[in-house]
Structure 1
Amino acid sequence: MTAPLAPAPAHSVPPVAAAVLPVLPRPGGAQFEAVLKSGAYMPLTQFGVISVSGDDAATFLHGQLTSDTQHLDAANARLAGYCSPKGRLLASFLVWRDSEAIRLLVSKDVQAAVQKRLSMFVLRAKAKLSDASADLLAVGLAGDVRAALGGIFDVIPDGVHVKVDGPFGSLIRVPDAEARLRYLWIGPRAEVEAQLPALDSKLVRVSPAVWDWLDIRAGEPRITGPVTEQFVPQMVNFDVLGGVNFRKGCYPGQEIVARSQYRGTIKRRTALANVTGETLSVAAGTELFHSADPGQPCGMVVNVASAPAGGVDVLAEIKLVALEGGSVHLGAADGPALRFLPLPYAWPTEV
């Protein structure tokens, strides 16, 4: 069974065309140290927020995204993907409810195109999509930050993807990275900005590039412009991370995603690695090559961020067989070699 995908023939639906995110400079060592040894916060300029309001907002999104939005309550957030009819991810989101709407936190470079595409499928549903990025500010907090957050929120969420609301917005616990706590604070921009000076006496303000590194170390891929329509959700571990609900109803690409899951055809996964280079030269979408098969790519860089010890850390989608021996290289078979690192979670055993 497939969901209705479009109000017009498929060829009339434009592809998701991404803007270009600025390359963030390498953070200084003291910024990484603040996260690892004390606590830090960072306004997250690399994200935008789509708001979906109206009586049918949850039902509409339920028929479009890989996660269950009909049963999403105010106390939880969840990951979700938005796929093409071929089951390839056009975007990834963190989804939550607040008192006004369902919110989708998304990479800013794909936001406008994805919002436009989703809007084409609203049809007669009572749902309206809008860009809330100017009104809301997202702030990441990592490390020893609970005491500082206690001055803003009465309750601090303990479980991953648990959400609490307060007078200054919503606070969501997200997966730990490097055994450090992480939280997302999203609220009205003016009110959040007014609270930030109080954090400066308790936490170190660092570059949003540090958050990109923490996301990579948490093993949580993010779909950005250079990798749209490249991956079925399982290729970027979304099934492991709770970003796909295999019991829900149909959505674009659902048959392909389900077939990959139940026929044991997942032969590619996303791994964590470090590689020599800088974010200007190592980019999402760069192909990977195996030493034993230099003529064709064996994978692709999904996300990249400057690493504290030098070089860059990457999340790399790769053929599982390529991890069994030999070496994997960036850009060409004689390019820099990837040094693979353990993810903070295990892949399921394929049958």
Structure 2
Amino acid sequence: MTTQPKTAALTSRALIALGGEDWRSFLQGLITQDVETLAPGEIRFGALLNPQGRLLYDLFVIGRRDGAWLDVERAQRDALILRLTMYRLRAKVTIAADEAPVFAAWGAEPGREWLPDPRLPALGWRGYDVAVTADQDEIAYDAHRLSLGVPGPADWGVEKTYPIEANFDLLQGIDFKKGCFVGQETTSRMKRRGQIKNRMLPLAFEGAPPPAGAELLLNGERRAGEVLSGQPGRAIALVRLDRLDGDLAAEGVAVRAETPDWLTTA
């Protein structure tokens, strides 16, 4: 019996279409990911940062024959288009919303037209304008993502978090060899020093998740971090890596910080 993939429409995501003869050089100087070598049908994960090196927008870049798609958070698409337009200056680039739907698949390979998620193989695949009838909702996909300990946009917000704190360096979201991008100096310095004090880790617990923003306490007294987003039994928290040895709790709920196989904190 052939295992069928689970598929979900990611209604929280939307596309921006980039075109024009300068689209590569334009995007190359802005985002954390290399696009000079991006081939049609290839997908890469990255972000646009502010000049201080904090996360503005996460994005997937999908190579197309005549340009690229940017897979972005739907609620932030208009703001990102506006920011990209401000950066455009005299570059020969077209920037427009595209209404093709975004899908995710996991559990079994869905087909050739799907692209492997560049962050982590276990996350599955992403599909753009594919012919599919989704059998899952986005809550189910988020549960799958949380089961792997991978944070999402609800965890980093806008201009609050450094990409390394959100594990972009471990999820193939930063190319440290590509050259300049907005916020590169701070990002490269954090990586070069190799002493990351805070990272996003998954929390395991019983029942409903502690509320977003709840303080994570070590042994009932020392602040160890902050709970971000979650579902029953699983959440993401920004934690201090030197304060994990002991009993952790948030809002009176006992929690356990986990380190997935893909995540190294050294």
Q: What TM-score results when the alignment is normalised by the length of structure 2?
A: 0.87
Q: Deviations over 1:163-205 (max 9, x none)?
A: xxxxxxx42112344xxx7221102xxxx4xx335xxxxxx71
Hey, what does 2:102 align to over in structure 1? 138
Contact in 1 for aligned 2:218/2:244 (Cα 8 Å)? no
Q: Is the 8 A contact 1:271 1:318 kept in 2?
A: yes
Would you say 1:69 and 2:64 are equivalent positions? no
- The answer to whether the aligner puts 1:52 opposite 2:52 as a matched pair is no
The one-letter code of the counterpart of 1:335 is G
Q: Which amino acid aligns with 1:338?
A: V
In structure 2, relative to structure 1, the CA distance for the partners of 1:240 and 1:111 (3 Å cut) is: same
**1:291 alignment partner in structure 2:** 218
Aligned counterpart for 1:196 among listed residues 132, 138, 143 = 132
Letter in 2 for 1:171: W
> Where does residue 345 of structure 1 map in the other structure?
262
Task: Return the alpha-carbon distance in structure 1 between the equivalents of residues 156 and 193 of structure 2.
Answer: 29
Whole-Å separation in 2 of the counterparts to 1:278 and 1:128 = 45
* Cα 1:143–1:225 shift into 2, 3 Å: closer
Separation in structure 2 between the aligned mates of residue 119 and residue 302 of structure 1, nearest angstrom: 31
- The answer on 1:185 being equivalent to 2:127 is yes
- Write the deviation string for residues 62-105 of structure 1: whole angstroms up to 9, x where unpaired: 11111111121224211101111111101111111112321111
Counterpart in 2 of 1:105? Answer: 71
Q: Which moved further from structure 2: 224-233 or 261-270?
A: 224-233
CA distance in 2 between counterparts of 1:106 and 1:300 reads: 25
Distance 1:76 1:224 in 2: 26
Contact 2:205 2:254 (8 Å CA) reproduced: yes
1:64 touches 1:82 (CA, 8 Å); kept in 2? yes
| Structure 2 residue corresponding to 1:209, chosen from 131, 135, 139 | 139
Shift of 1:38: 5.2
Distance, in Å, in 1 between the alignment partners of 2:263 and 2:37 is 27
Q: Check the 8 A contact 1:172/1:184 in 2, yes or no.
A: yes
Say if 1:88 and 1:40 are closer, same or farther in 2 by CA, change over 3 A.
Answer: same
Equivalent residue, structure 2, for 1:17: none
> Equivalent residue for 1:23?
none
Q: Report the alpha carbon displacement of residue 312 of structure 1 after superposing the two structures with TM.
A: 4.0
8 A contact 1:56–1:127 mirrored in 2: yes
Verify the 8 A CA contact 2:220 2:248 in the aligned structure 1: no
Cα deviations by residue, 1:298-346 (Å, 9 ceiling, x for unpaired) = 3334443x3xxxx2422222110121223142xxxx4323223341413
Matched-pair contact (CA < 8 Å) for 1:223–1:302? no
SS of the residue aligned with 2:196? Answer: coil
Bigger proportion of residues as helix: 1
Alpha-carbon distance in structure 1 between the residues aligned to 2:211 and 2:205: 9
Q: Compute the displacement of 1:292 (Å).
A: 4.5
Alignment of 1:1-351 (within 5 A): 39-132=5-98, 134=99, 136-146=100-110, 149=111, 156=112, 170-174=113-117, 175-177=120-122, 182-187=124-129, 192=130, 195-196=131-132, 205-224=135-154, 227-276=157-206, 278=208, 282-283=211-212, 286-292=213-219, 294=221, 297-304=223-230, 306=231, 311-329=232-250, 334-349=251-266
Give the C-alpha shift of residue 271 in structure 1. Answer: 0.9
Report if aligned partners of 1:39, 1:143 keep a CA contact under 8 Å in 2.
Answer: yes
Instruction: Using the aligned pairs only, state the percent identity.
Output: 25
Change (3 A) 1:231 1:208: same
SS at match of 2:164: helix
Paired with 1:226 and 1:265, the residues of 2 have a C-alpha distance of: 20
* Letter matched to residue 94 of structure 1: F
Aligned-partner Cα distance in 1 for 2:206–2:80 = 33
Q: What's the RMSD between the two structures over aligned residues?
A: 2.5
Q: Partners of 1:321 and 1:106 in 2: how far apart? A: 33
Counterpart CA distance in 2 for 1:125 and 1:224 is 32
Provide the TM-score with structure 1 as the length reference.
0.68
Q: Which runs of 5 or more structure 2 residues have no equivalent in the other structure? A: none
**Residue type at the aligned position of 1:345:** W
Deviation at 1:120, TM superposition (A): 0.8
| Paired residues, number | 262
One-letter identity of the residue aligned with 1:219 = G
1:62/1:277 Cα in 2 relative to 1: closer, same or farther (>3 Å)?
farther
Instruction: Tell me: CA distance 1:271–1:59, structure 2 relative to 1, closer, same or farther (3 Å).
Output: same
